[in-house]
Amino acid sequence: MTVPREMPEKWPRVRGPGGAEEERRVRANAREYNEKFQYASNCIKTSKYNIVTFLPVNLFEQFQEVANTYFLFLLILQLIPQISSLSWFTTIVPLVLVLTITAVKDATDDYFRHKSDNQVNNRQSQVLIGGVLRQEQWMNVRVGDIIKLENNQFVAADLLLLCSSEPHGLCYVETAELDGETNMKVRQATPVTSELADISTLARFDGEVICEPPNNKLDKFGGTLYWKENKFPLSNQNMLLRGCVLRNTEWCFGLVVFAGPDTKLMQNSGRTKFKRTSIDRLMNTLVLWIFGFLVCMGVILAIGNAIWEHEVGVCFQIYLPWDEGVHSAVFSGFLSFWSYIIILNTVVPISLYVSVEVIRLGHSYFINWDKKMYCAKRRTPAEARTTTLNEELGQVEYIFSDKTGTLTQNIMVFSKCSVNGHSYGDVQDVLGHNVELGERPEPVDFSFNPLADPGFQFWDPSLLEAVQLGDPHVHEFFRLLSLCHTVMSEEKSEGELYYKAQSPDEGALVTAARNFGFVFRSRTPKTITVHELGRAITYQLLAILDFNNIRKRMSVIVRSPEGKIRLYCKGADTILLERLHPSNQDLTNVTTDHLNEYAGEGLRTLVLACKDLEESYYEDWAERLRRASGAPEAREDRLARLYDEVERDMTLLGATAIEDKLQQGVPETIAILTLANIKIWVLTGDKQAPGSPCAETAVNIGYSCKMLTDDMTEVFVVTGHTVLEVREELRKAREKMMDGSRSMGNGFSYQEKLSSSKLTSVLEAIAGEYALVINGHSLAHALEADMEVEFLETACACKAVICCRVTPLQKAQVVELVKKYKKAVTLAIGDGANDVSMIKTAHIGVGISGQEGIQAVLASDYSFSQFKFLQRLLLVHGRWSYLRMCKFLCYFFYKNFAFTMVHFWFGFFCGFSAQTVYDQYFITLYNIVYTSLPVLAMGVFDQDVPEQRSMEYPKLYEPGQLNLLFNKREFFICIAQGIYTSVLMFFIPYGVFADATRDDGAQLADYQSFAVTVATSLVIVVSVQIGLDTGFWTAINHFFIWGSLAAYFAILFAMHSDGLFQMFPNQFRFVGNAQNTLAQPTVWLTIALTTVVCIMPVVAFRFLKLDLKPELSDTVRYTQLVRKKQKPQHRCARRGGCGGGSRRSGYAFSHQEGFGELIMSGKNMRLSSLALSGFTARPGAAWIETLRRKKGGESSPDTAAKG
């Protein structure tokens, strides 16, 4: 690997002209040298403010909001005396309130960011400084430092792996936090550095790394290590990235290459883009419309003012001369336009945005507090990480779900098996029904076996009995499972075995064999030691015929202690059943039935077979194998042919069925969500078995979680490899669907519809249920620009869509596609880093928390630990949020229009002079005190139907999807109601006050009495209205509604009191008004009449609507009978469905190719495990001695002590 050193030309300058880093040079143990490049330190900062910058920065950010700037502009207008129709404080008080609330929220958020930053920055790590290891905080780690990591520690920065406790500088990491993959990955130091195993040599290490600048590509790294006049290429294989966890490695040393914000983890966690809900967008549009409306009103009134001043005002000048500087009626009209803009600005209420935020925050807390979304096992409550999307949860139409870790637990459980034509593993209760998990009888007792894994459970005792009775078939079956695999074992102390399996499937199988008494104990490159029913037997491992995706099987050839050579093979049924000896025909038939049954339950199946080999045949074969593996060309083909030759005419032993364990409640959740008209698409990354059409595993899951059912008319599987194939397959699928619906013959002429050229309409009329399964290759074509619409239409016509083996990017593309063409709200749920892109793309991203990877959670808007909580999140919280938000907005616009439009009508009676109807204090407080809390309480607490009902009647979710509760139409209804109210609010008092006098003859028709009367009736009317709107009167609602009314009167009397007037006579001019006006029966009769005529039509309208066109929620709410109706049956026990072959698992091992080779080379064997295995191994195995010598030569202090 060594090449003569030369100056690298690839990265000519360290810093580019724009200050962007173009390459990175890092010299080990040379802080001064590295400092001159000013690389970022390992201190991370996600917070936005500090104490000094908070106020200016936060205010600056807040005034970037259009609404806030608008109110600032109003405030400035109000300071101009000629047009100031209202005092400045009517705007500044709400504005300051809004700014303060937002600032407090921002400050709290930032405080928590500070806290988490500090926590991360203060983690300890061991840094090699001046030849000694020192404990340092993470933030003090510098680029170029060498740090030591121990087992199970987080990697502090992006490191170049120098050496490790393991042989060959190997080191295992778990990258769950980075990419969500929970299996372990191997990293290896470059050979030249892997020998630097002790501190003194490391301290002298002065290699220089020149590499690419920081970027966010997790799987790529390019660089060169220059050391001792040589250069060594570096790749991602040599890197330990921040966020990984060191596993199964005692210790390792690494050189810090990227630190803090430059690390790939931090580069990946870009600031998430701010998501807005559809209601937000609608609200912004509406506010713009209202603004336009406001300008229109301003113009009308300004024209009115100009005319009035021209016709009337001119004559009235003796009593009321024009202001200085006003010389014409037109100019006066111009001024009055601005005055009216100020007065009427309350139609665009400043408190709207802040109230919406408060409501959403409340809803978020309810999600956080929900006990029913708390997972006791993982100790994680649900968390609303974004507080601005809640109501959108009530509008979801498409759910995109990851499979592994989201729908399934990624735990494989040995669930059933068929041995010699007998099926084991079914558990039936007394009635003969399949029993649900948790209600099962006692599991099989494995206490006879001291080596049994306590975590393993099996419920069918007959299998254990068969083992103990010595059934040779069963014994051979488990022997195969204990021998034919690539699992590594580790035995920390006697009897405490740990298996390190490359795939969970294999682990499950070996663990099953272990518990049934065939314990795989240890392995060396040439032997496998197994405890068979208490007896230690060491098999000689002759060959591993490794797995790959074409073969879909793996075999081992072992020599038993008796000297017999045997081939054990396990693999996909489709492949293996063809390779059996013809004499197995009867058994094959029975086993096939069993396999179908297993597959029908969504289990992953695997067929086991074995074959005795003649010594002479084997010798010959082995010789040919040796030659083939040494061959320079076509090695793979020749090996494959040899493997193929030997794996023939085998004897069938049986079949296993592994349950890819679903998360709790997944089928029920999917069933309910489907009933709620939500379409669920499963997008699975399925990293297992690259290169094979593996739609089967995903389909299995589809069946087991009830996405696919036998009732479905057809499941289309699209696996085309070329554009044309995919297009053809999609076309056929559509044709079939249309044929199907035509044959249903439900009266429509589809031909006609077809001619209307719009495919969608046809597809929407599809009868029957279809499902689409598409794999990654085909998806890539389907997502191309010219086919995406076709694909989308086909997919949307199907009830269920499963996309398998899609890349993270494709996941995002699929979501984007639906977002783009369907205008529907999408939700993506996933647990791994491969889901991050789709979580970020979808309108709502949900992360499954409580698992090891947190990338998905970090990118998500909501997180909880079980897929099943999704139904509660959407059907209960989402639905309520949507309902509450819609009711809130309707009421909010209503009350502001009712409030403001009165000024408009009054304009016609006061010479368009921008005189307000109300006292200025009333205008200031109306939105923030008198009417804010009741509507907030409704927005936070309202419930139309109890939560159980929304689960029982998933159709209740539909109004949200169709956006029925708040749309432009509803908005206009609210506005109309508001204007109607304002008309009555003005003209009834006008009629009364035109020539009213008090009962004592004194005047009543004065401006101040009129103001108080209108204000009081307004407050009463909107309070009654909120009372009508509130469907769920908790104590808080009572308190706020009655409290607001009480507050109105209290404040009214206080404002009109003598004391305040004595202090500020010019400010509180309404002195004595409240008690004088409100003592008049006429005034109260006016208020009562206004209330009656404002409210009664609303009540009548609502009642008629309820009676004539009831919503489902109304029915559920009002009909007591509904309770007695039976609950919809979610759990339709699917028993023994006769699945077609397409569903059966073409089982693919979920592990990487090439592990067989690694085992046979002994490269990944640790000395400790080798030593332990020594006591069963035959003495004198030469390879052990060689390895020991080799190890001894390296003489690492740690391993030496161990050894």
Query: Which sequence positions are flagged as catalytic?
Result: 402
Q: Would you say 315 or 1133 has its CB closer to other proteins?
A: 315
| Residue 1085 Cβ vs other proteins, minimum distance, rounded to whole Å | 6
Q: Would you say 312 or 1046 has its CB closer to other proteins?
A: 312
According to the binding rule CB under 8 A, does residue 550 interact with other proteins? no
32 CA to centre of own chain: 44
| Residue 317 Cβ vs other proteins, minimum distance, rounded to whole Å | 8
According to the binding rule CB under 8 A, does residue 990 interact with other proteins? yes
Q: Would you say 84 or 267 has its CB closer to other proteins?
A: 84
Element (H, E) at 68: helix 66-78
**Strand 488-493 and strand 496-500: pairing?**
antiparallel
Binding-residue pattern over the window 56 to 85 for other proteins, x denoting contact by CB under 8 A: -----------------------------x
| Residue 1044 Cβ vs other proteins, minimum distance, rounded to whole Å | 18
Using CB under 8 A, which of 170, 1004, 1026, 1172 touches other proteins? 1004
| Residue 996 Cβ vs other proteins, minimum distance, rounded to whole Å | 5
Question: By CB under 8 A, what part of segment 947-976 binds other proteins?
Answer: 947
DSSP-H helix ranges across 321-471: 329-344, 351-369, 461-468
According to the binding rule CB under 8 A, does residue 1182 interact with other proteins? no
Q: Would you say 618 or 1070 has its CB closer to other proteins?
A: 1070
Question: By CB under 8 A, what part of segment 908-937 binds other proteins?
Answer: 909-911, 913-916
Residue 821: what residue type? Answer: Y
Q: Which of 489, 481, 150 is nearest to 1170 (CA)?
A: 489
Helix/strand/coil for 165? coil
Q: How far apart are CA 557 and CA 578, in angstroms?
A: 20
Question: By CB under 8 A, what part of segment 84-103 binds other proteins?
Answer: 85
| Residue 946 Cβ vs other proteins, minimum distance, rounded to whole Å | 9
**DSSP character for 279?**
H
Torsion angle defined by CA atoms of residues 696, 697, 698 and 701, in that order, rounded to the nearest 10 degrees: 120
Question: By CB under 8 A, what part of segment 1053-1072 binds other proteins?
Answer: 1058, 1061-1062, 1065-1066, 1069, 1071-1072
198 CA to centre of own chain: 44
| Residue 486 Cβ vs other proteins, minimum distance, rounded to whole Å | 17
Q: In the structure encoding, which two tokens stand for residue 77, read together?
A: 């207008």
Q: In the structure encoding, which two tokens stand for residue 1033, read together?
A: 């009167």
Question: By CB under 8 A, what part of segment 295-334 binds other proteins?
Answer: 312, 315-316, 318-321, 323-324
Q: How far apart are CA 1048 and CA 1045, in angstroms?
A: 5
According to the binding rule CB under 8 A, does residue 339 interact with other proteins? yes
Q: Would you say 223 or 911 has its CB closer to other proteins?
A: 911
Count the site residues for other proteins by CB under 8 A: 102
According to the binding rule CB under 8 A, does residue 123 interact with other proteins? no
Q: How far apart are CA 1054 and CA 586, in angstroms?
A: 98
Dihedral sign for Cα atoms in the order 93, 95, 96, 97:
positive
Question: By CB under 8 A, what part of segment 512-531 binds other proteins?
Answer: none
| Residue 209 Cβ vs other proteins, minimum distance, rounded to whole Å | 31
According to the binding rule CB under 8 A, does residue 1032 interact with other proteins? yes
Q: In the structure encoding, which two tokens stand for residue 811, read together?
A: 């996941």
| Residue 283 Cβ vs other proteins, minimum distance, rounded to whole Å | 25
Using CB under 8 A, which of 1033, 1045, 1163, 1168 touches other proteins? 1033
Using CB under 8 A, which of 277, 871, 1076, 1196 touches other proteins? 1076
Using CB under 8 A, which of 479, 734, 895, 1117 touches other proteins? 1117
| Residue 384 Cβ vs other proteins, minimum distance, rounded to whole Å | 12
Q: In the structure encoding, which two tokens stand for residue 626, read together?
A: 């040796």
| Residue 708 Cβ vs other proteins, minimum distance, rounded to whole Å | 32
Question: By CB under 8 A, what part of segment 666-705 binds other proteins?
Answer: none
Q: Would you say 777 or 1056 has its CB closer to other proteins?
A: 1056
Dmax (CA) of the chain: 130
Are 500 and 490 in contact by the 8 Å Cβ rule? The answer is yes
Q: Facing residues of 128 across strands?
A: 133, 146
**Binding segment for other proteins among 6-14, 475-483, 636-644, 987-995 (CB under 8 A)?**
987-995
Using CB under 8 A, which of 1045, 1060, 1106, 1171 touches other proteins? 1106
According to the binding rule CB under 8 A, does residue 1081 interact with other proteins? yes
Using CB under 8 A, which of 993, 1040, 1147, 1155 touches other proteins? 993
Q: Would you say 205 or 338 has its CB closer to other proteins?
A: 338
Helix/strand/coil for 1105? helix
Binding-residue pattern over the window 244 to 283 for other proteins, x denoting contact by CB under 8 A: ---x------------------------------------
DSSP-H helix ranges across 868-946: 869-871, 879-907, 920-925, 932-941
Which class for 1006: exposed (0-12), middle (13-18), buried (19 or more C-beta within 10 A)?
middle
Tokens 């208490």 label which residue?
534
Q: How far apart are CA 302 and CA 331, in angstroms?
A: 10
Q: Would you say 442 or 1107 has its CB closer to other proteins?
A: 1107
Number of C-beta neighbours around residue 851 at 10 A: 21
Using CB under 8 A, which of 110, 250, 725, 1006 touches other proteins? 1006
Are 162 and 146 in contact by the 8 Å Cβ rule? The answer is yes
Q: How far apart are CA 814 and CA 794, in angstroms?
A: 13
Q: Would you say 631 or 1096 has its CB closer to other proteins?
A: 1096
Q: Would you say 222 or 495 has its CB closer to other proteins?
A: 495
Q: Which of 827, 807, 830, 805 is nearest to 815 (CA)?
A: 827
Using CB under 8 A, which of 972, 1053, 1118, 1175 touches other proteins? 1118
Are 175 and 241 in contact by the 8 Å Cβ rule? The answer is yes
Q: Facing residues of 422 across strands?
A: 419
According to the binding rule CB under 8 A, does residue 6 interact with other proteins? no
Which class for 454: exposed (0-12), middle (13-18), buried (19 or more C-beta within 10 A)?
exposed
Q: Which of 1074, 1078, 1080 is nearest to 1056 (CA)?
A: 1074
Using CB under 8 A, which of 3, 104, 1092, 1138 touches other proteins? 1092
Binding-residue pattern over the window 362 to 401 for other proteins, x denoting contact by CB under 8 A: ---xx-xxxxx-x-x--xxx--------------------
| Residue 883 Cβ vs other proteins, minimum distance, rounded to whole Å | 13
User: DSSP for 144-156?
Assistant: T-EEEEETTPBP-
- Burial code (b: 16+ CB inside 10 Å, e: under 16) for 231-245 equals bbebeeebbbbbbbb
Element (H, E) at 874: none
Using CB under 8 A, which of 995, 1124, 1126, 1193 touches other proteins? 995
According to the binding rule CB under 8 A, does residue 1003 interact with other proteins? yes
| Residue 992 Cβ vs other proteins, minimum distance, rounded to whole Å | 5
Question: By CB under 8 A, what part of segment 854-893 binds other proteins?
Answer: 880
**Binding segment for other proteins among 49-57, 110-118, 867-875, 1084-1092 (CB under 8 A)?**
1084-1092
- Burial code (b: 16+ CB inside 10 Å, e: under 16) for 657-690 equals bbbbbbbbbbbbbbbbbbebebbbbbbbbbebbe
**Binding segment for other proteins among 272-280, 1002-1010, 1133-1141, 1179-1187 (CB under 8 A)?**
1002-1010
| Residue 880 Cβ vs other proteins, minimum distance, rounded to whole Å | 8
**Interaxial angle between packed helices 329-344 and 66-78, expressed in degrees from 0 to 180 and rounded to the nearest 10:** 130
Are 486 and 1161 in contact by the 8 Å Cβ rule? The answer is no
